[in-house]
């Protein structure tokens, strides 16, 4: 949106419009979903003025009013479902990972969390007929887990029929059996994965804001951003805020970070996939003592919560712990050299 349109809002002159755009508030909708305190802090605008600007943007963008259930249903038809390429897991999740939602995957070390984020960075690029969303991926890496070599493995591990479709769609000459064509296809997949390494929690929060800008830049492109992966969401927060005395500050920052991510999902019809670490609950005498960290802040923010746990060999149990419209349940998958595969 051109900056001069922002000046149509009350109290927004050229200087204020520049500040808003510099801080990511470049559309009526992005302003409408902001809070006065957030806008006041980030754009250096008085809280009262920020409130007036937000209210005017809500009227202009028609955001914030009531609507019928039929209208909500119609809007939900725009939501995409990203397939895991594993029928049992897709059935468990009602078709796959939803856009406009936060999906949290948690589990102990080696349970396959990072494997899921890598696989979804590949699957999101597939055609809708093959279970993808025909879009790119933003990958925020806080634990140095991203490996392009793993993307290579997973692309090569796709079914030959899907590989042939992708080669045709990307205008790559050759067949899945041709090494030169496969190398070109792998490079094409890697080109649509935008990776940034987060060095600490503040940098991670900043990267979420940068991810919003990047999603906006690609919104009208051939490859819009359709998934944001954060692996892991909580590692830096857990390491930097130690002890009960810092718990409140940690949770406040984590809450803001989650809302920044959710805003990307809402504005650009993007799936948000985050991994989470776990801790062992010493008070648990029965059942699995493993519990996700992040507390109620993360529990409430996540639309879907998935618990991964190890089984025999390369088998992993995928357990749906929480979802607003799906029953709890479990599915089995394998983590193999070629990626995530059915049992």
Domain membership flag for residue 24 = yes
The confidence score (pLDDT) of residue 240 equals 93
The confidence score (pLDDT) of residue 71 equals 80
20 lies in the same domain as 132: no
pLDDT band at 41 (very low <50, low <70, confident <90, very high): confident
Highest mean pLDDT of the ranges 28-37, 250-259, 334-343? 334-343
The confidence score (pLDDT) of residue 4 equals 46
Whether residue 110 is annotated as binding a ligand: the answer is yes
94 lies in the same domain as 221: yes
306 lies in the same domain as 334: yes
Whether residue 107 is annotated as binding a ligand: the answer is yes
CATH of the domain at 158: 3.40.50.300
236 lies in the same domain as 107: yes
* Average predicted confidence (pLDDT) for the chain: 91
Answer with the one of 38, 61, 84 that is the final residue of a domain.
Answer: 61
Domain membership flag for residue 308 = yes
**Of 291 and 312, the one with more pLDDT:** 312
**Of 343 and 122, the one with more pLDDT:** 122
Whether residue 111 is annotated as binding a ligand: the answer is yes
CA dist 116 → 100, 134, 148, 169 (Å) = 18, 18, 14, 24
289 lies in the same domain as 191: yes
pLDDT of 156 > 70? The answer is yes
pLDDT of 307 > 80? The answer is yes
Domain membership flag for residue 69 = no
146 lies in the same domain as 11: no
106 lies in the same domain as 24: no
Integer Cα distance of 319 and 305 in angstroms: 9
83 lies in the same domain as 25: no
173 lies in the same domain as 51: no
- For residues 106 and 322, the answer to whether their CB atoms sit within 8 Å is no
Answer with the one of 61, 88, 103 that is the final residue of a domain.
Answer: 61
Of 54-68, 104-118, 135-149, least confident by mean pLDDT is 54-68
pLDDT of 255 > 70? The answer is yes
Whether residue 109 is annotated as binding a ligand: the answer is yes
Residue 16's SS3 state is helix
Percentage of the chain lying above the pLDDT 70 cut? 95
The confidence score (pLDDT) of residue 11 equals 84
172 lies in the same domain as 94: yes
Provide mean pLDDT across the span 315-338.
Answer: 96
Structural domains of the chain, count: 2
pLDDT of 3 > 50? The answer is no
The confidence score (pLDDT) of residue 245 equals 85
The confidence score (pLDDT) of residue 247 equals 85
Q: What is the pLDDT of residues 269-279, one digit of tens each?
A: 999 999 998 88
The confidence score (pLDDT) of residue 30 equals 80
CATH of the domain at 19: 1.10.150.20
CA dist 32 → 23, 52, 73, 106, 267 (Å) = 14, 11, 22, 32, 11
Q: What is the pLDDT of residues 26-38, one digit of tens each?
A: 788 788 878 888 8
Domain membership flag for residue 67 = no
Domain membership flag for residue 301 = yes
**Of 143 and 45, the one with more pLDDT:** 143
Listed in sequence order, the DSSP H helices in the chain are 3-6, 14-22, 28-32, 36-43, 47-61, 69-76, 87-92, 113-123, 148-156, 160-169, 179-191, 201-217, 235-240, 247-268, 295-301
91 lies in the same domain as 15: no
pLDDT of 150 > 90? The answer is yes
Domain membership flag for residue 169 = yes
pLDDT of 120 > 50? The answer is yes
26 lies in the same domain as 133: no
pLDDT of 290 > 80? The answer is no
User: In 3D, which of 268, 265, 271 has the Cα closest to residue 105?
Assistant: 271
Q: What is the pLDDT of residues 70-93, one digit of tens each?
A: 987 887 888 999 999 999 999 999
- For residues 217 and 175, the answer to whether their CB atoms sit within 8 Å is no
Domain that holds residue 332: 75-341
Whether residue 80 is annotated as binding a ligand: the answer is no
Whether residue 113 is annotated as binding a ligand: the answer is yes
Provide mean pLDDT across the span 186-206.
Answer: 97
Domain membership flag for residue 66 = no
**Of 68 and 161, the one with more pLDDT:** 161
The confidence score (pLDDT) of residue 282 equals 58
Domain membership flag for residue 68 = no
The confidence score (pLDDT) of residue 287 equals 56
């Amino acid at each position: 949106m051109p900056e001069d349109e922002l000046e149509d809002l009350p109290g927004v002159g050229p200087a204020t419009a520049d500040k808003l755009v510099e801080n990511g508030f470049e559309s009526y909708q992005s302003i409408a979903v902001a809070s006065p305190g957030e806008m006041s802090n980030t754009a250096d605008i008085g809280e009262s003025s920020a409130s007036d600007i937000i209210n005017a943007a809500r009227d202009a963008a028609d955001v914030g009013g009531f609507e019928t259930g039929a209208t909500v249903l119609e809007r939900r038809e725009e939501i995409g479902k990203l397939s895991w390429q594993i029928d049992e897991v897709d059935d468990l999740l009602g078709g796959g990972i939803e856009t406009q939602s936060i999906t949290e995957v948690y589990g102990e070390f080696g349970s396959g969390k990072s494997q899921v984020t890598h696989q979804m960075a590949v699957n999101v690029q597939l055609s809708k007929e093959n279970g993808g969303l025909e879009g790119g991926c933003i990958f925020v890496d806080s634990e140095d887990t991203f490996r392009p070599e793993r993307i290579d493995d997973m692309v090569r591990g796709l079914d030959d029929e899907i590989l042939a479709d992708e080669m045709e769609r990307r205008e790559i000459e050759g067949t899945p059996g041709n090494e030169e064509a496969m190398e070109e296809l792998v490079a094409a997949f890697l080109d649509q994965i935008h990776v940034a390494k987060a060095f600490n929690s503040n940098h991670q929060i900043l990267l979420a804001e940068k991810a919003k800008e990047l999603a906006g830049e690609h919104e009208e492109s051939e490859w819009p951003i359709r998934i944001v992966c954060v692996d892991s969401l909580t590692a830096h927060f857990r390491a930097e805020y130690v002890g009960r005395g810092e718990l409140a500050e940690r949770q406040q920052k984590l809450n803001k970070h989650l809302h920044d991510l959710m805003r990307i999902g809402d504005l650009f019809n993007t799936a948000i996939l985050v991994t989470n670490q776990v801790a062992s609950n010493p008070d648990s005498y029965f059942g699995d003592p493993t519990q996700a960290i992040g507390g109620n802040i993360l529990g409430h923010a996540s639309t879907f919560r998935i618990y991964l746990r190890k089984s025999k060999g390369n088998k992993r149990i995928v357990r749906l712990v929480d979802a607003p419209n799906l029953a709890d349940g479990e599915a089995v998958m394998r983590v193999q050299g070629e990626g995530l595969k059915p049992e």
